[in-house]
Amino acid sequence: MFGFFIFAQMEEKKLKILTVVGARPQIIKAAAISRAIKSSFFGKISEKILHTGQHYDANMSEVFFSELGIPAPDFNLNVGSGTHGSQTALMISGIEKVLIAEKPDLLILFGDTNSTLAGAVAASKLHVPVAHIEAGLRSFNKAMPEEINRIMCDHASTWLFVPTIAGLTNLKREGFDDSRIAEKKVNIDNPGVYHTGDVMYDNSLFFSDVADEKAPLSGILRKVFEEGYKKLSAADRAGEWHLKKGEYILATIHRDNNTDNAERLNSIFRALSDIAEGVTVVVPLHPRTEKMLEKILEPMLYERVVRLRDRIDSGDFLSGALSDNPGILLLPPASFFEMISLEKGARMVITDSGGVQKEAFFFNKPCLILRRETEWVEIVECGAARLVDADYDSIIDGYSDFLNKRVIYPEIFGDGRAAEKILGIICGTDFSK
């Protein structure tokens, strides 16, 4: 009986966490937290996962849970697409119901999507403490929905876990006081601000070798263009029909101000097409981008963009390595491990993604950022990345400069143990009323 009493007490002390994800990057970030719970906080924390369904395409979401070893979500709101208002409203309502039913000790939120905003609103109204991972980032462009989301989430949070020194500076500028971390009884009016490093850096270190095994460069094209590959001659199949490290450029475009603007999308792909005259440019297509290519690209430019993919699909492919046949190579959305392999093997990265520009830095790849501003200012300030917007000349000039420039990659994003630090801080918080 005495032993049972001790066990019951231990169960009562277990911290109950609800983690909210909705977009692919958040699922990846959640992997670091779930992994740290299993390895370092087993028996101390119980976690349930809520998926809002903001990214509902299987290639953009579901496959990541199985790839990263994360348990299937305990709750899925399946909100799908919609206007910002309608989508966020559905999320707030769904998250609120789960919070009331589950009564977690805290809610963990990542980044800056509509799912993040919805979680912060729902939790703050019910007085459920919020832990915001990737707090303090600012692009200083409030026309970006993400900027509003991250600011509002920060100001509704009890714990703000900041990946970089610049993020800490941003929060101090907004009135947050990191000296409060000495007080254990943090709350929404007395939030704790902590510089912990970046959970995505944790993941990049952890999964780097796994990606080489699960998604080697030699297999990515054969998987994607299976039918075209079957049409190749035996000699070509035995040849070097794959991507070679350092012999291609990786590009990703997904932000709506690029994909839905004809002038900007044409400018970006005109630059990529000219670069691709001399080197293969690999473009894993976001569903939004694929939808808009044929719709708004100029007809002759569209033909240049799809030429290499069409040749491979039809089996009309020249013998020899892919590097001997440059062009833009359009791929479906890449899995997490495929993306790591593509990033590690690229000579340079061109992107409008906040996550990809940072991962390029993790793997020591220079990066051209297809935006006017970035929340990751440190990688620009140290010379590892350059803001080129959607300007043709800036993209071409930046590409040429990085081909001949020696880039240094200082330690900015921590030591690869951000998740453990975050959970340790939360576990040390006094939850007594």
Structural contact between residues 279 and 249, judged by C-beta atoms closer than 8 angstroms: yes
Residues 353, 356, 360, 361: is their CA dihedral positive or negative? positive
Q: Which residues pair with 283 in a beta bridge?
A: 330
pLDDT of residue 202: 95
Domains of the chain from N-terminus onward? 2-198+415-427 (3.40.50.2000), 207-403 (3.40.50.2000)
In this structure, the number of other CB atoms found within 10 A of the CB of residue 396 comes to 16
How far apart CA 241 and CA 229 sit, in angstroms, is: 9
Which pLDDT score is estimated for 432?
55
pLDDT of amino acid 61: 52
Which class for 348: exposed (0-12), middle (13-18), buried (19 or more C-beta within 10 A)? buried
Written as one letter, the residue type at 325 is N
Render each residue's pLDDT in the chain as its tens digit; 433 residues: 445 444 444 455 799 999 999 988 898 899 999 999 999 999 999 999 999 987 655 444 556 677 777 778 999 998 887 788 999 999 999 999 999 999 999 999 999 999 999 999 999 999 999 999 999 999 999 988 999 999 999 999 999 999 999 999 999 999 998 775 655 578 999 999 999 999 999 999 999 988 988 888 878 877 777 666 666 666 565 555 678 899 999 999 999 899 999 999 999 999 999 999 999 999 999 888 888 999 999 999 999 999 988 877 776 655 555 666 789 999 988 888 899 999 999 999 999 999 999 999 999 999 999 999 999 999 999 999 999 999 999 999 999 999 989 999 999 999 999 999 999 999 987 665 4
Listed residue (151, 93, 142) closest to 117, CA to CA = 151
Q: What is the pLDDT of residue 408?
A: 94
The per-residue pLDDT for 390 is 98
The total number of residues shown for the chain amounts to 433
Distance CA 239, CA 31 (A): 37
For 169-191, write each residue's pLDDT tens digit. 999 999 998 775 655 578 999 99
Under DSSP, the state recorded for 399 is H
Burial status of residue 32 (CB atoms within 10 A of its CB: 0-12, 13-18, 19 or more): buried
pLDDT recorded at residue 228: 62
- Kindly list the catalytic residues: 254
pLDDT value of residue 7: 47
Instruction: Specify the DSSP element, H or E, that contains 195.
Output: strand 192-195
Full-model pTM: 0.85
